[in-house]
Amino acid sequence: MELPFAESWKIKMVEPIRRSTREEREHWLAEAHYNVFQLKAEQVYIDLLTDSGTGAMSDRQWAELMLGDESYAGATSFYKLEAVIKRLFGMKYVIPTHQGRAAENVLFSYLVKEGNVIPGNAHFDTTKGHIESRHAVAVDVTTADARNTQLEVPFKGNVDLDKLEKVLKENAGNVPFMVLTVTNNTVGGQPVSMANIKSTCALCHRYGVPVVMDSARFAENAYFIKVREEGYAGKTIKEITAEMYADADAMTMSAKKDGVVNMGGFIGLKNKEWYEGAKLFCIPFEGYVTYGGMNGRDMNALAQGLDENTEFDMLHTRIHQVAYLASKLDEYGIPYQRPAGGHAIFVDADRVLDRIPKEEFPAQTLTCELYLEAGIRACEIGYMLADRDPVTRENRFGGLDLVRLCIPRRVYTDNHMDVIAAAMKNVYDRRESITRGVAIEWEAPLMRHFTVQLKRL
């Protein structure tokens, strides 16, 4: 008999979690103004809000914490981290930051000027925020494939090269860089193919435009290249990673994802001029350049995390779990962005709650229903997150309206996946009875989804 697949690790430490009653959850959610970001974590049974900073570190990472060098300047921990980043990505210059958005803040402070245009294969919200707050324009050049959740294509995160070329042509001289996000979080944790990465870099370079890789989930992207793209099955994740970054000019990294640390990030650069420019913003915003926003011990843990999370078995364990959850949803007929992504399943709320109009935020409503059903905290990646157009102030209803079931790394077991799928099924089975959504009572002018206050209609 062929032995079944199992995790490539065993568990050394556990943390209790608690179930609650529906009555408790009704009360807590009302107190949170129907915004799950406002819940206390202890009011949550299974937390799928994000895979960012929520992973479980390995015994080797915890051991590295003890070896951290907390020197203000020139700490050994910095050089350890720098060496891993040079080896994996070929980035000559490294600036540590406290997380991904801080890397964006430092680099974009140097690079982005008012009126600039910055294309990307679906910018993440903080990336878009850092562009728009500098009065520049973030243009999405995502493939049309990504808009159809039921279309099963292997690299739905790809850049539409025609759309990109049009932006580069029409804005010649006004595009400081292009952002290539791997995997593409916004469209469902979907990967970008190696062929598309290379073509994107070649096209941008033809127009004299550098490429910045938003690298939060680069290792998951490398895994998908290995298992889905012709010619890569025999290569290691580390070899594929090196090839992904061979033509890129720079990277911003939220280390809280594929670095498997609870906090951290960095900028990687190939060009000395950019390094010198970004450094000037690192010192006042983050800290001196050999620690930026990080403790020495955290740089050590990150160096170890990057190394071990670029091993096939680690990634296979993770992506297998996400695929397992997807297979349960398939069994129950629940529509999600196909195929299953690297870090999450994105349920197509527009299709589930098709009686609720856009103006009443179907995905936000489904997020509330899932919490009420089983204490599971998911995250709306839809019309609430899309926010308002900075000029017209109209809601941006043009994109997808999804509920992200985001799986932390090495935290939950497949039994938890069974609970999540069953809870989703229960909500799905009573979807006809959910006919009204939510309305906004108060919202912030930027990144409203974190603090928005809602009422149930």
Among 254, 290, 295, 309, binds ligand F0G (CB under 6 A): 254
What is d(CA 312, CA 330) in angstroms, rounded to the nearest whole number? Answer: 26
> Which residue's C-beta sits nearest to ligand F0G?
100
Nearest approach in angstroms of CB 131 to ligand F0G is: 12
140 lines the binding site for ligand F0G (CB under 6 A): no
Site for ligand F0G in 410-449 (CB under 6 A): none
> 25 or 256, CB closer to ligand F0G?
256
Among 77, 105, 116, 185, binds ligand F0G (CB under 6 A): 185
List all residues 6 or more positions away from 170 whose beta carbon is below 8 Å from its beta carbon.
Answer: none
Using alpha carbons only, what angle is made at residue 343 by residues 339 and 349, rounded to the nearest 5 degrees?
60
Nearest approach in angstroms of CB 191 to ligand F0G is: 13
Place of tokens 């995502």: 142
> 68 or 188, CB closer to ligand F0G?
188
- What is the DSSP track for 195-220? HHHHHHHHHHHHTT--EEEE-TTHHH
Residue 340 and residue 379 in contact, taking contact as beta carbons nearer than 8 Å: no
Site for ligand F0G in 74-133 (CB under 6 A): 99-101, 124, 126-127
Annotate 207-230 with b (16+ C-beta within 10 A) or e (fewer).
bebbbbbbbbbbbbbbbbbbeebe
Instruction: Name the pairing type of β-strands 117-120 and 376-377.
Output: unpaired
> 181 or 364, CB closer to ligand F0G?
181
Could you list the active site residues? 72, 124-125, 214, 216, 257, 449
Among 105, 181, 200, 365, binds ligand F0G (CB under 6 A): 181
Place of tokens 């999370």: 309
Nearest approach in angstroms of CB 214 to ligand F0G is: 5
What is d(CA 424, CA 405) in angstroms, rounded to the nearest whole number? Answer: 10
Nearest approach in angstroms of CB 332 to ligand F0G is: 25
Nearest approach in angstroms of CB 124 to ligand F0G is: 4
Residue 177 and residue 212 in contact, taking contact as beta carbons nearer than 8 Å: yes
Binding site for ligand F0G (CB under 6 A): 50, 52, 99-101, 124, 126-127, 181, 185, 214, 216, 254, 256, 265
